[in-house]
Amino acid sequence: MYLVVFMICAFIVFYTYLGYGMLIYFLARWFPYKSITIPELNAQEFPAVTLFIAAYNEAEIIEEKMANSLALDYPTNRLKIFWVIDGSTDASEEILRKYTNVKVLYSPERRGKTAAINHGMAHVEDPIVVFTDANCMLNKEALKRIVKQFEDPTIGCVSGEKRIAFQQDDTVSSKGESAYWKYESFLKEKDFVYYSGVGAAGELFAIRTVYFEEMPENTLLDDFMLSMRIAQKGLRIAYTPDAYAVERGSSNMEEESKRKQRIAAGGWQSIGRLLPLLNFFVYGKLSFQYVSHRVLRWSIAPIALIVLLPISWLLAGEHGRSLINVFTVILYMQMAFYLCAVVGYLSRNQTQVSKVFFIPYYFVFMNANVLMGIWYLINSTGGVWEKSKRK
């Protein structure tokens, strides 16, 4: 019995965190989706675009965000900049009123980002809307790279790349998040080459406006739900790494934990709301990618990770005391990994921490927050949450 449990848990853990990455790399290389060749667009061909920014108390960053938005390389007569201010109590609205080329929609009551998106989308008329966060800076070519993808009629959503800026004197919160997103970006790229991206990151993504559907206001992962609802219609999510958003990492691990718990809770919530996507007979490749890339990571894998350690210890005791016993070796490998994680935890507020320590710590930290996300979801009262402080 122990052996069966061990085999199941070991497979889930390996496949979720490493195996799927290896498999999707192979599938993307040898069985890529036959996409059409998209030529470069000329100035007359660029579609009208709305750059949509939902914000709450972002007065500190608005001028920098506006400078970044106005510097984007896109025809000015084809671009609208649209801010939806969700119950801000700072000077956000007053600052934005200084810009004559910006549309501002103000809501006096704070109802959360999803409510702000629902409210704002009722005022969007352009065929393409690009969502970005106030604290993220986009590369100059981002919009051109995004709209080019929509020349393919199979594309309903385009996801840019999220990049975490960190300096050598940053702590584990920034460096761990950066390492995580590098691997996540690799998976996103291969997912798209094989068939479709699996969700979009709210820092930078775009949709065909016609496919927008209003979401329940208590939705925690608006970006993921919005993009996956479009994929559920049979359209693909394009991943475009040469359109990217840069933001700073969380100021410390306590702040990063707030964000991770909300995302984890949103993951559990999304699984419940996207149950039809678990049907491989209907959604085929998309179901395979969704379960492999998201569902396992958000649900079963963290539990399997916890079970694996005591099961390995029991099997190591059952099958002899030899140090070369396979279960003993696996047990010692886990113990060494968690020991490195402990060192990473003890060094979490230091600036000089080896990857040998901060990557295991961040991995354990993420999985712990997936389980804590269940409690967050149970106690969630809606789509409003406390923002994590960033550097």
If you write DSSP's letter for every residue of 297-329 in order, what string do you get? Answer: HHTHHHHHHHHHHHHHHHHHHHT-S-TT-HHHH
Mean pLDDT of 151-162: 96
CA distance 150 to 206: 9
- Of 74 and 323, the structure prediction assigns the larger pLDDT to 74
- CB burial of 348-384 (b: ≥16 within 10 Å; e: otherwise) equals beeeebeeebbbbbbbbbbbbbbebbeebbeebeebb
Whether the pLDDT of residue 385 is over 80: the answer is: no
- CB burial of 157-170 (b: ≥16 within 10 Å; e: otherwise) equals bbbbbbbbebeeeb
Using a pLDDT cut of 90, give the percent of the chain over it: 69
Q: What's the pLDDT score for residue 103? A: 95
Q: What's the pLDDT score for residue 304? A: 97
The reported pTM is 0.92
Per-residue confidence band for 383, with pLDDT thresholds at 50, 70 and 90? low
The dihedrals phi and psi of 272, each to the nearest 5 degrees, come to -65, -35
Task: Give the helix/strand (H/E) hosting 67.
Answer: helix 59-70
Q: What's the pLDDT score for residue 324? A: 61
Task: Give the helix/strand (H/E) hosting 241.
Answer: strand 236-248
Q: Domain segments of the chain: what residues? A: 2-18+296-379, 39-291
- CB burial of 201-225 (b: ≥16 within 10 Å; e: otherwise) equals bbbbbbbbbeebeebebebbbbbbb
Residues 6+ positions from 77 with CB-CB distance below 8 Å: none
- 331-363 pLDDT tens trace: 999 999 999 999 988 887 777 778 888 889 999
Q: What's the pLDDT score for residue 333? A: 95
Record the tokens describing residue 22, joined without a space.
Answer: 């290896």
Q: Which residue has the tokens 């059952």?
A: 318
- 24-57 pLDDT tens trace: 999 999 999 987 777 777 777 899 999 999 999 9
Return the number of other C-beta atoms located less than 10 Å from residue 140's C-beta.
11
CB 357 within 8 A of CB 339: no
- 236-282 pLDDT tens trace: 999 999 999 998 766 667 777 888 899 999 999 999 999 999 999 99
Q: Beta strands 128-132 and 204-208: pairing type?
A: antiparallel
Q: What's the pLDDT score for residue 379? A: 79
Mean pLDDT of 270-295: 97
CATH number of 39-291: 3.90.550.10
Per-residue confidence band for 322, with pLDDT thresholds at 50, 70 and 90? low
Residue of 233, 262, 221 whose CA lies nearest to 387: 262
The dihedrals phi and psi of 107, each to the nearest 5 degrees, come to -115, 120
Q: What's the pLDDT score for residue 288? A: 98
30-34, 157-161, 384-388: which range is least confident on average?
384-388
Q: What is the DSSP letter of 389?
A: P
CB 131 within 8 A of CB 59: no
Per-residue confidence band for 166, with pLDDT thresholds at 50, 70 and 90? low
CA distance 109 to 127: 29
Whether the pLDDT of residue 167 is over 60: the answer is: no
Mean pLDDT of 75-96: 93
